[in-house]
Amino acid sequence: MDFSQSEEHTSIRDAVGKICAQFDDHYWLEKDRAGGFPHELHRAFADGGWLGICLPVAYGGSGMGITEAAVMMQTITASGAGLSGASAVHMNIFGLQPVAVFGTEEQKQRMLPPLIAGREKACFAVTEPNTGLNTTQLQTRAERVGDHYVLSGEKVWISTAQVAEKMLILARTTPQDQCSKPSLGLSLFYTSLDRKYVELCEIDKMGRKAVDSNQLFIDGLPVPVADRIGEEGRGFEYILHGMNPERILIAAEATGLGRAALNRATRYANERIVFNRPIGKNQAIQHPLAESWMELEAADLMTMRAAWKYDHGEPCGADANAAKYLAAEAGFEACQRAVMTHGGYGYAKEYHVERYLREIMIPRIAPISPQLILCYIAEKVLGLPKSY
Amino acid sequence: MDFSQSEEHTSIRDAVGKICAQFDDHYWLEKDRAGGFPHELHRAFADGGWLGICLPVAYGGSGMGITEAAVMMQTITASGAGLSGASAVHMNIFGLQPVAVFGTEEQKQRMLPPLIAGREKACFAVTEPNTGLNTTQLQTRAERVGDHYVLSGEKVWISTAQVAEKMLILARTTPQDQCSKPSLGLSLFYTSLDRKYVELCEIDKMGRKAVDSNQLFIDGLPVPVADRIGEEGRGFEYILHGMNPERILIAAEATGLGRAALNRATRYANERIVFNRPIGKNQAIQHPLAESWMELEAADLMTMRAAWKYDHGEPCGADANAAKYLAAEAGFEACQRAVMTHGGYGYAKEYHVERYLREIMIPRIAPISPQLILCYIAEKVLGLPKSY
Amino acid sequence: MNNHHLDTERQDNIRMLSESAQNFAIKASPLTRARALRGSATGFDRSFWTKLAEQGWTGLLIPESFEGYGQGFGEMAAVVSALATQVAPEPVVPALVFASRLIEHSAEHQLKTGGSGELQQQLLASIAAGELIPAVAWQEELAGLDVSLLAHAVSAAPTNGRIQLSGEKHHVRPSADCDGFVVTAKQGEGLSLWWVPATTAGVQVNVVALADGTSAASVRFDGVMLEESQCLAQGAAAMSAFTRAYDEALVMTSVELLALQQAMLNMTLEYLRTRVQFGKPIGSFQALQHRAVDLLIQQELTSAVVGQAIDMLDGAATVVERAAMASRTKARASDAGLLMARESVQLHGAIGFTDEYDLGLYVQRALVLSAWLGNAQTQRRRYSTLTKLTTPSV
Amino acid sequence: MNNHHLDTERQDNIRMLSESAQNFAIKASPLTRARALRGSATGFDRSFWTKLAEQGWTGLLIPESFEGYGQGFGEMAAVVSALATQVAPEPVVPALVFASRLIEHSAEHQLKTGGSGELQQQLLASIAAGELIPAVAWQEELAGLDVSLLAHAVSAAPTNGRIQLSGEKHHVRPSADCDGFVVTAKQGEGLSLWWVPATTAGVQVNVVALADGTSAASVRFDGVMLEESQCLAQGAAAMSAFTRAYDEALVMTSVELLALQQAMLNMTLEYLRTRVQFGKPIGSFQALQHRAVDLLIQQELTSAVVGQAIDMLDGAATVVERAAMASRTKARASDAGLLMARESVQLHGAIGFTDEYDLGLYVQRALVLSAWLGNAQTQRRRYSTLTKLTTPSV
C-alpha cells in the first residue's frame, strides 16, 4: 500500500475548487429557495473540460479513472455547492460508461462528444414507481417495429430530466416469462428525450431543489435501433457495470458535504463567543466534531480504496457498498452535528447547515438503502444466507 | 495512493498465523482461567526472529517498518490469541525504539540482541499512580551519585514486569521547578529490573490474565549512567517518539481481535440452526455483523495510513490517534455483537467471545482514553481551543 | 401521556378536551393549510388565531381572575398536542405559554407585594380574548442559552424620568405579526422585565427564515423610551417569573415534539405495512421491523417522561425539581424527535424526501423545535448543573 | 421505581421492606462474599439460602394457601433489588420467581379443574421453607428462545404405564445444587410440564461456567422414567402457566439489571468526583460530565419502565399486554445494563479493569443477566410480534 497524495489529485482539487468558488453560498441559498437548474455551473464544468473526466480521450474526454472523478465530485460538494452542485453534473460523469464500454464506435462518436462539451445533458431513466430496488421487475416495454423500438411505461426519480436532451433508458424487450432468468430480456438505449412522447412531472423535494427529480410518462416513444447500446436483452448487465462507480461517486459526494458542514461548524465554534470564551472550548461541542473528522477520514479511505480497485479492474463491490454506507452515515452525522453546533441558528436558512442536512439525506437513501447494503455485505462478504 | 496488497504483508500474515495456530483456543481459555505468562508463544516468536521485526538488521532485527509490525500484531490477535497473545510480545516490538533511535552504538549492541533473541524480556515503566495521563507530573526520582543514578518511586500498570529482566523507565532527574518547561528534567533508562530494589505487586484484572500487570515500588535502585538513553533531561521527548507507533500497534491489535470475534460470530450464525434455518438468515443477526465488517475495514485502513506515514517520516499524530479511536470502538462493537449473536451461549466461557469482550476493553482504555483523543483531534486538526 | 396523579373526573375532562381539540384541529387546520403558510410573510394566520380564541384556548391557562379559564397544563397539553399533530404554524407555545405565563407570574408577584398589576391585567385579558399575541425577547448574542445570565447587553437605563432600552435580542418567536415583547433587560446589577409594544419607536424586527417555513426574529431596541409603568418585574421576582415560564415552555414544547414524533411514527408504520418490495410488504423485513420497534419504544419513553413533567407542572414541586424535570424532558423530546425525523425519512426511502408527501412537514417542524429554547445538549448541561451530578463544568 | 397505583399503606410497607432487605443484604452478603463464591462448585451458598428462608423471602410470593406469605411483586422486587445490589449469586429469580411461580400457576389450574394439586402443594411448601431449590429446564437447541415453541426435542412418551422423558435442555439456572427441574416436554402435539427431582436416574447435569462466576447447566434426560403424578400441567394450561411465569421472571430479572445499573452509576459518579487529573476532579471535564448525565437519564428511563411493569404484574392485564410489557422491559433493562457496563468501565479507565475493584462484579453480572431469558434483540422481536406492529417477520 502507498498512501502518498497524488499530485494529479491535488491539481484536480485546486482546479475544481476554483470553478466552485465562483458559485458562493448565496448562489446556492437562492437556488434552494427558488429552484432552477444551475446552468452556470454546468457550463463552467463543460468549458473546463471536466464533464468527460473519465471518458476516453478519443471522444473528447480526459481518460482518467473513477478515482479522479471521485476527487472531483468530493471537491464540488465540499465547496458548499453540496448535492445541488454535484447532482447537476453527476450523471454526466459516470452515466455514459455503458456507452463507452459497450457502445459501437459509431455510437461513441455520436453520443459522447456532445455530452462532454456540455451541448447535451443526459438523464438516467432506470427506476420505476412499482419496482423500487428490484430492477429486474421493470415494467417499461420496448417493442421492436422495423428499425425502431417503441417505448411505453413510467419512470420515477429521474434527475435532471427537465433540462436533459438525452436519456439512458432501460426497458424490457422480451417478456419475463420468455426469459431463462429475470435479469435477461431488458435492453439499454441512449436516445433523445422527445417531449412529444414523454410527459415530465417534477417531484418537489425536501432538499436539492435546484436539480429537478421527475416522474416520466412515456407513451409510444420511437427509438431507432441504432440507439440501442450493446446486445438486445443484456441491458441489465450493462447497467450493473455502472453500479459500483455510482456508489463510489455518491460516497465521495457525501464525505465532501460532511466536510463542508464540519468546516462551517468548526469556524462557528471558534468564532462564536459566549461570555468571553469561544463555544468550541466546550468538550460537548468539540468532541462530536472531532469524531466526525475521524469518521469522514475513514469513509474517505474506504471510498478511495473502492475507486482504486475499480480502476485496477479488481472486484470492488464490497468496498463500493461499504464506502457508500460509511460515507452517508458519517456525512449525515457531520451535518447534524454542524446544525447542533450552531444552536438556535442551526435551523436558520442563512447559516446553510440546515440545507446541508436536508441534502445529505439523499446519499443515505439513494441509490440503495443502507439495509440492502448490509444484506449485500452479509451475503457476499461474510457468507451468510440471503435474508429476504 | 496505491491499495495493492504487498506480498511481504501476505507472507508475514502466513508465517505469523502458522506460529499462532500452535496455540489453540483451549490454550488461551486455560491461560485466561489460571493465568501464567505464555512463555511458549514468546519463545516461538523469538525463535522465528519476529521480536526484532522493526529493529535494525545490524543488531539482529529485521529492519522492517511499523506497518509490518502492525500486520504482525493484528495477525496475532486475529488468531484468537487476543490481547493475551499480543501483549506478551507487544512491548518487545515497539518499546525499544528509543534505544534504537537515541541510544549509543555500545548501548544498541548491548541491549537489542538479547531482547530480539528472546533471552531477555523488557517492560515499559512510565505510568504512575497519581499522575494518570499527565506524564510530565511523574514523581519517580533519579538522583545522580557518581557513575550511578539511584531511582525511587512508584509505577503502575506495568505489563509483563513479573517475567521481565529489563525495564525502560522514565524518572525525574531535575526537579520540575528548576526546569524551563514541565516536560524537561525527565530522563530515560534501560536497565535491569533488580528485584532487590523493586517490589512487584500483580494487579488482578477483568481480562488478559495471562499477561501480568503490576504496581512497582522502587526503593533505591542503582542504575549505571551507561544505562541512560540519550541526554539527561530529555527522556519525555524520547518517550513521545514511541507514542504514535504504540497507538498504531494497539489499533492493529484491536481490529485483529474484532475480526476474530466477527469470524466466530459469522461461523456460529451459519451453523446454529433454529427450526430449520440458520440464525444468520435473520437480518437482526446479520446486519450488525455486516456493519462491524465495514467499521473494522475502515479502522484498518486508517491504521495502515498512520503506519505508512510513520514509516515515511510524515507527521502521523492525527492518523495514529484516529486509528486507535476507531479501531477500539469498532473492535468493541464487533466483540459485543459476537456475544449477542451467541445468545445464551455468549457469556459461557467455552465459546470464547466473552473473553474477547473483556480483552477488547484494554484498547479502549489504554494507552490513552477516547476523550483525550477527541481533545487531540479537536485541537491539532480542527484548530479548536484547548478545553481543559 | 400518563396522568397518574389526576382524579378521574379531571382525567375524563382532559380526554374529552383532547378529542374535541383533535376534531377541531383536523377540520380547521388540515395539513394543506400548514403547507400553504410556509414561508409566508408572517408564517401563520391571524384569523386562525381568532378561531383559537373562540374555542377559549387563548385563555385556557390564564386564571379566571385575569379573565381566562384557569385550566392546568394537562388541559393545555391536550390543545398543544392536537395543533402540533396538524403542524399548525401558530405560535401557541411561544405566545400562550412562554410569554403569557411570564406576564402572569410577574403579576402574581406584583399583587403579592402590593403592586397594581394593572398592565398585566390588561395584557392577559387581551391575550385571553385572542387580540394580543406577545413574544419573549430574551436571548442575547453573548449570553447564549444560559438562563442564569439573562440579560447582559440589553440594558434599561433611567433617562429624564423615563427608561431607555438598548440592545439586541435573538431567536424571538413569533417574529412578524407579533404585537409586543416581554424584554429581559439588565438594570443596575439586576434583571428586569419590560413590556414593549411592537409599534414602539426604535423597535426594529429582522425576520430570519427557519427550516420549517416559520421564522424567528432578531429584535433591535435602539434607545427605545419606556415609562416606568411598562416594567413587569424587577430583581429576584423577574428572575423567578422568567425561570418558571421558561420551564413551562420547555415542557409544552416537548409536548409538541412528542405529537410530531407520534405522527411521524404512524406514517412510517403505515408505509411499512403497505409498501411492497421483492413481493412482500417491506414491514416484513426484519431489519425494518426492528427499527420500527426501537422507535416505538423511544416514543413510549418520551411519552412517559412528558407525562411526568406535565403532572409536575400541575402539582407542587420545588424550583430546582421543576427546572431539572423540564430540562430532562426537553432533552429527551429533542433527541427522540431528531431520531424519529432521521429514521422516518430513512425508512420511507425516496418518497420520504418528496415535498408533497406530508412527512417533510413533521420532520422540519421537529428539527426546528428540537433546537428552540435550547437543544438536547444544552438542556443536559443545565440538568447536570441543577442536579449537581458532578463538580461544576470547566 | 414509581408505584403510582399502590395505596399508601402498601407503599409504606414496601419502603420498609426495601430498607430492611438492603440492611440485611449489606450485612449478610458483603461484596467479598460474592467475590469468594465466583467459580466455586455450586456458584452459590446453600447456608445463605437458609438465611433467606428465615427472612421469609423464599416464600414471599407464594400464596398463604400454599404456606407462603402471599405478597406481591412490589414486595419481591424490593428483596430482589437489595440482593442484586450486593451481587449475591443465589438464584433468587430463577428459583423463586421463574420455577416457583410456574409450579404455582400449574397448581391454580389443577385446582380449578378439580385436580388435587398435591404435588405442587408439597413443592411450594418446601420452596417456601427454603428446603427446595427448583429450576426450569425449557430451552432447546433447535427451538431457541421462541416461547411459543416450547418443547420440540424433549418428549414425554407413555411406556408400560409410566412416562419416559428424553432429550436435552440448555441454559438451566441454577445448575449445580439444584434440587429438581420443571421440565417442558412435548406430549403428542401438546406441551406438558413435569417435575423431575435432580436425583432421578438418567438425569445428567453438565455445568457451563459463565462470565460472572456463576454457571448454567445443560441437562440431559436419558430415558428418565416418570409417574403420571409428576405431571404438573398439560396442553393449554401448561402453555399459559409457562408464559405467565416467564413474563414474571423477565420483569424480575429487569429489576436485578436495574439494581446493577444503579450500583455501577453510583460507583462511576463517585469516581468522577474524586479522581483528579490535570489538577481537577475528572468529573469537571465536560465530556465526562455529559456522558454521566446521559447515563443517569438512561437509568431513570429504565426505572420508570420497570416500575410500570411491576405495577402491571400486581394489577390486572391481559396475557398479551403482560407479555408485551415484560418483553419491552427486559429489552430496555438489558440494553441499559450493557450500556452502563461499557460506559462505567470506560469512564473509570484502567482501575475499572482491575479485578480487585468491585466494578467488575457488577459489570459481569450485568452482562450475564442481559442475555438470560433472551437478550434485548430477542425481546424486541417478541414485542414486535405481540403488538403486531408490522406484518409478521420473514
Tens digit of each residue's pLDDT (9 = 90 or more) over A142-197: 999 999 999 999 999 899 999 999 999 999 999 999 999 988 999 999 999 999 99
Whether residues D203 and D183 share a domain: the answer is: yes
Helix (H) or strand (E) holding D195: strand D190-197
| B39 plus B56 within the same structural domain | yes
Residues 103-132 of chain D whose Cβ lies under 8 A from any Cβ of chain B: none
Put simply, whether C264 touches A (Cβ < 8 Å) is: no
Collapsed DSSP state (helix, strand, coil) of residue D183: strand
pLDDT at C240: 93
**B interface with C, Cβ–Cβ below 8 Å:** 282-284, 287, 388
State how far residue C334 is from chain D, nearest Cα, in angstroms: 14
Which residues 6+ apart lie within 8 Å of C161 measured at CB?
Answer: none
Whether D111 and D148 share a structural domain:
no
The alpha helices in A187-242, defined as continuous H runs, are 235-241
At residue D2 the predicted structure's pLDDT band, cuts being 50, 70 and 90, is: very low
Which residue among D342, D349, D353 places its CB closest to the CB of B206? D353
How many residues belong to chain C?
394
Rounded Cα gap, residues D154 and B39, in angstroms: 47
Please work out, in degrees rounded to the nearest 5, the angle formed at the alpha carbon of residue B374 by the alpha carbons of B369 and B379.
130
Residues of A with CB under 8 A from a CB of C: 132-134, 157, 203-207, 273-275, 279, 284-285, 332, 336, 339-340, 343-344, 346-350, 354, 357-358, 361-362, 364-366, 369-371, 374, 387-388
| Cβ atoms of residues D157 and D164 within 8 Å | yes
Tell which of B283, B291, B371 to mutate to test the C interface (max C CBs under 10 Å).
Answer: B283
pLDDT above 60 for D5: no
Pair (C369, C252) in one structural domain? yes
Q: What is the DSSP string of B335-360?
A: HHHHHHHTGGGTTBGGGSHHHHHHHH
Residue in A with minimal Cα distance to D284? A283
Domain limits for position C365: 237-390
Strands (E), chain B: 122-125, 141-145, 148-159, 166-172, 186-192, 198-203, 213-224, 228-229, 273-274, 277-278
Helical residues (DSSP H) of A117-195, grouped into ranges:
none
* DSSP string over B169-217: EEEESS-GGGSSSTTSSEEEEEEE--TTTEEEEEEPBSS-TTS-EEEEE
Same domain, B192 and B313: no
Q: Is residue B50 very low, low, confident or very high in pLDDT (cuts 50, 70, 90)?
A: very high
Check whether residue D103 and residue D152 sit in a common domain: no
Tell if the CB–CB gap between A284 and D394 is shorter than 8 Å: no
**Which pLDDT value is given to residue B158?**
92
pLDDT digits (tens, 9 = 90+) for B24-38: 999 999 999 888 999
B280 neighbourhood in chain A, CB within 8 Å: 378, 384-385
Dihedral angle sign, alpha carbons of residues A99, A102, A107, A108: positive
Do residue D352 and residue B347 have CB atoms under 8 angstroms apart? no
Q: What counts of helices (H) and strands (E) characterise chain C?
A: 11, 10
Chain D interface test: which of C8, C284, C289 (most D C-beta within 10 Å): C289
Nearest to C289 among D304, D332, D393 (CB): D393
pLDDT at B261 over 80: yes
State the pLDDT at residue D144.
Answer: 63
Using an 8 Å Cβ cutoff, are C90 and C97 in contact?
no
Task: Looking at the complex, report in whole angstroms how far the Cα of residue D394 sits from the nearest Cα belonging to chain A.
Answer: 7
Calculate how close chain D gets to A135, using CA atoms only, in Å.
Answer: 21
Interface contact flag, D277 B343, Cβ < 8 Å = no
Identify whether A87 is part of a domain.
yes
Partner A contacted by C341 (CB < 8 A)? no
Which residues of B fall within a CB distance of 8 Å from C286? 282-284
CATH number reported for the structural domain that contains residue B136 in this entry: 2.40.110.10
Same domain as C347, residue C386: yes
Backbone angles phi, psi at A19, to 5 degrees: -60, -45
In B28-140, which ranges are E strands? 122-125
Kindly state whether residues D257 and D333 are assigned to the same domain.
Answer: yes
A40: its cell numbers: 452556470
| Residue D240 confidence class, pLDDT cut points 50, 70, 90 | very high
Q: Which of A201, A234, A267 is the last residue of a domain?
A: A234
Choice between D357 and B85, residue whose per-residue pLDDT is larger: B85
Range of the domain at A219: 122-234
- What would the DSSP string read from start to end of D350-372? GGGGBSSSTHHHHHHHHHHHHHT
Q: Is D364 on the interface with B (CB under 8 A)?
A: yes
The answer to whether the beta carbons of residues B262 and B292 sit under 8 Å apart is: yes
Q: Is residue A153 part of a domain?
A: yes
If one counts every other C-beta atom within 10 angstroms of the C-beta of residue A22, the result is: 11
pLDDT at A122 over 90: yes
Query: Within this chain, do residues A57 and A190 fall inside the same structural domain, yes or no?
Result: no
Are C152 and C83 in the same domain?
no
Burial class (CB in 10 A: 0-12, 13-18, 19+), A296: buried
Upper half-sphere CA count for residue B218 (Cβ side, 13 Å) = 30
On whether both D258 and D345 belong to a single domain, the answer is yes
pLDDT, residue B133, reads 63
Give B131 or A148, the one with higher predicted confidence. Answer: A148
Domain boundary among B207, B234, B261: B234
With left for phi above 0 and alpha for psi between -120 and 50, is residue B251 left, alpha or beta?
alpha
A335-347 pLDDT tens trace: 999 999 998 888 8
D71: domain CATH number is 1.10.540.10
CB contact under 8 A, B387 and D210: no
Residue A273 has its nearest CB partner, among C142, C275, C360, at C142
Is residue A26 domain-shared with residue A74, that is, in the same domain? yes
Number of CB atoms found within 10 A of residue B170's CB: 24
B269–A312 C-beta distance less than 8 A: no
Cβ distance of B275 and D367 shorter than 8 Å: no
Interchain contact, A283 vs D394, CB within 8 Å: no
Whether residue D352 has pLDDT greater than 90: no
Quick check: helix, strand or coil at residue D40?
Answer: coil
Taking alpha carbons only, the member of B303, C89, B385 closest to residue A280 is B385
Bigger pLDDT: D209 vs A307:
A307
Chain A nearest CA to C356, separation (Å): 6
Hey, are the CB atoms on D394 and A388 less than 8 Å from each other?
yes
Residue A290: is its pLDDT beyond 50? Answer: yes
pLDDT of D146 over the 70 cut? no
Angle between helices D319-348 and D376-387 (to 10 degrees): 150
Question: b vs e for B115-130, b when ≥16 Cβ sit within 10 Å of the residue's Cβ?
Answer: bbebebbbbbbbbbee
Instruction: Decide if C286 and B284 are in contact by the 8 Å CB cutoff.
Output: yes
B204–D288 CB contact, under 8 Å: no
C376: nearest CA partner in chain D: D294
Task: Report which DSSP code applies to B4.
Answer: P
Verify that D277 and D376 share a domain, yes or no.
yes
Dist CA A261 CA A80 (whole Å): 8
First to last CA, chain C: 37
pLDDT, tens digit (0-9, with 9 covering 90-100), for A313-328? 999 999 999 999 999 9
Q: Can you spell out the DSSP letters for D299-343?
A: HHHHHHHHHHHHHHHHS---HHHHHHHHHHHHHHHHHHHHHHHHH
Q: Which residues contact B93 (CB under 8 A, 6 or more apart)?
A: B51, B53, B54, B69, B72, B73, B249
3-state secondary structure of A282: coil
**What's the mean per-residue pLDDT of chain D?**
89
Q: Testing the interface with B: which of D149, D277, D285, D368 to mutate, by most B Cβ within 10 A?
A: D277
- Mean pLDDT score across all residues of chain A: 93
Query: What confidence score (pLDDT) does residue C148 get?
Result: 59
Examine the domain organization and report whether A288 and A362 are in the same domain: yes
Are A70 and A97 part of one and the same domain?
A: yes
B·C CB contacts under 8 A: 10
ipTM: 0.83
Residue D349: its chain B contacts at CB < 8 A?
132, 365, 369
Residue appearing with cell numbers 411448601: D125
For residue range D281-298, list pLDDT tens digits in order. Answer: 777 777 787 788 888 888
Task: Decide which of C102, C128, C154 is a domain's last residue.
Answer: C128
Each residue's pLDDT tens digit, D315-340: 888 999 999 999 999 999 999 999 99
Cβ distance B204 to D355 less than 8 Å, yes or no, reads: yes
Best mutation target, B32, B33, B201, B206, to test chain D (most D CBs within 10 A):
B206
Residues B212 and B251 in one domain: no
Average pLDDT over residues A201-219: 90
Judgement on whether residues A242 and A230 belong to the same structural domain of the protein: no
A190 SS3 class: strand
Residue that finishes a domain, picked among D218, D234, D250: D234
C-alpha cell recorded at residue C240: 423567578
Regarding whether A149 and A112 lie in a shared domain, the answer is no
| Three-state secondary structure call for residue C140 | strand
User: Does one domain contain both A167 and A85?
Assistant: no
Chain C touching partners, 3 or more CB pairs below 8 A: A, B, D
Alpha-carbon span C44 to C31, nearest angstrom: 13
pLDDT > 70: percent of chain D: 94
**Least-confidence region, from B273-287, B321-335, D15-29:** B273-287
Q: What is the CA radius of gyration of chain A?
A: 21
Q: What pLDDT sits at residue B228?
A: 97
Q: Is residue B366 domain-shared with residue B251, that is, in the same domain?
A: yes
Asked whether the predicted pLDDT for residue B170 surpasses 80, the reply is: yes
Q: Which residues are bridge partners to A223 per DSSP?
A: A149
CA separation for the pair C169, C172 (Å, rounded) = 7
Nearest residue to B103 via CA among B88, B90, B118, B113: B113
Residue D23: count of CB within 10 angstroms of its CB = 11
Q: Are D122 and D151 in a shared domain?
A: no
Does any CB of chain A come closer than 8 Å to the CB of residue C208? yes
Domain co-membership, D307 together with D208: no
Output the domain CATH number for residue A334: 1.20.140.10
Residue C246: which CATH number? 1.20.140.10
Contact B235, B229 (CB under 8 A): yes
Contact A280 B5 (CB under 8 A): no
DSSP state of B384: P
Asked if C226 and C253 sit in the same domain, the reply is no
Contact flag C349-A344 (C-beta cutoff 8 Å): no
Question: Do B225 and B313 have their domain in common?
Answer: no
- Structurally, how many domains does chain D consist of? 3
User: What span, in angstroms and rounded, lies between the C-alpha atoms of D155 and C70?
Assistant: 67
Chain A positions in Cβ-Cβ contact with residue B381 (cut-off 8 Å): 290, 293
Query: What amino acid is encoded at C217 in this protein?
Result: A
Contacts of C301 in chain D (CB under 8 A): 301, 304-305, 332
Last-in-domain residue among A204, A234, A264: A234
The answer to whether residues B162 and B37 touch, using CB atoms and an 8 Å cutoff, is yes
Residue with cell 452556470: A40
User: Is B387 inside a domain boundary?
Assistant: no
- B374-380 average pLDDT score: 92
Number of structural domains (chain B) is 3
The pLDDT confidence band at residue D389, using thresholds 50, 70 and 90, is: low
Spell out the per-residue pLDDT of chain C, length 394, in tens.
444 456 788 989 999 999 999 999 999 999 999 999 998 888 899 999 999 999 999 999 999 999 999 999 999 999 999 999 999 999 999 999 999 999 999 999 888 888 888 999 999 999 999 999 999 999 987 666 665 566 777 888 888 889 999 999 999 999 988 999 999 998 887 899 999 999 999 999 999 989 899 999 999 999 999 999 999 999 999 999 999 999 999 999 999 999 999 999 999 988 888 887 777 777 777 778 778 888 888 888 899 889 999 999 998 889 999 999 999 999 999 999 999 999 999 888 888 888 888 999 999 999 999 999 999 988 988 888 887 654 444 3
Instruction: Grade residue D394 by pLDDT with cuts at 50, 70 and 90.
Output: very low
